[in-house]
Amino acid sequence: MSAFCKIHIPQNSEVNYGWEHSVPSGAWQGFSIAPNYYAIAAPANNQRKGSTAGNEDNEYAYASKVPLTARSAEGYHFERWTDEAGIRVSYENPYTHTVKADTAVRAFFMADLYQVSLFAENGRIKSGGGNYFYHTQVRVEAEADAGYRFVKWTNATGNSVSDQNPYTFVVTGDAELTEVFEKNVGATQALPLLPEGEAGVYYVDGILHLVNLEGYSISVSTMKGERVLQFTADSDNAEYAAALPAGIYILNAAKWKEKYATRKFAVKK
């Protein structure tokens, strides 16, 4: 038999013949073994999320080592390699694939997760803060305190972003938004409406207002129990100047032994 003859092994049966070598070392009794060639496909799960490289040749000899590299697009990251059935092959990137048969090795990419942080002064955030995947549409909204009106949203550097409230945008990275409110010039803060005869208390612009508490002994304390005011109300619509720091307070009112009232009220900045 000529030395130039080559031994052929049926395709996809190399393991049955105990051959585990690539073409340079494949031989049997002095005769070269003609390698079988196989196609390696390495698509991405979504071309918009990323791409692959390393399988530029159409076919590879059995047992060849093929280095595959996954390249994620902006806003995405490589997660894993899977086979055609979606079963994980490797988390490594680059990944070296050993050719055994026609194979499709798929690169799986996932969207990055970003934080949307919201802040508001003289108001409150109603919705929108949290974690969102890249390219997700987010709707943020805040509500002004009484006596204030919405002006704009600003970013972390203080630049104006939008004059809309609610405001909708697409997430492309971590975002920090502050809703800016300004005081209504000449506006009068809305006062609480109470049922006729019901005792009440509210605090506006440094003035403590008492309603329907004439003759009651008044005690005002912090939530920790620290007493800050004590006096007797002299009318049913009494006003008292009181410099109270921002916080939540408890008013206790007593008149004789049978009449008691307890009310909670807030002092805002």
The percent of residues in the chain predicted with pLDDT above 70, rounded, is: 82
Decide which of 258 and 87 is more confident. Answer: 87
pLDDT at position 131 is 95
SS (H, E, C) the chain: CCCCCEEECCCCCCHHHCCCCCHHHCEECCEEEECCEECEECCECCCCCEEEECCCCCCEECCCEEEEEEEECCCEEEEEEECCCCCEEECCCCEEEECCCCEECEEEEEECEEEEEEEECCEEEEECCEEEECCCEEEEEEEECCCEEEEEEECCCCCEEECCCCEEEECCCCEEEEEEEEECCCCCCCCCCCCCCCCEEEEECCEEEEECCCCCEEEEEECCCCEEEEEECCCCEEEEECCCCCEEEEEEEEECCCEEEEEEEEECC
pLDDT at position 100 is 86
pLDDT at position 24 is 47
| Predicted confidence (pLDDT) per residue in 146-161, tens digit | 778 899 999 989 899 9
Options 2.40.50.100, 1.10.150.120, 2.60.40.3580, 3.40.50.2300; CATH for 200-267 is 2.60.40.3580
pTM of the prediction?
A: 0.56
Q: Is residue 114's pLDDT more than 80? A: yes
Least confident of 146-155, 183-192, 196-205: 183-192
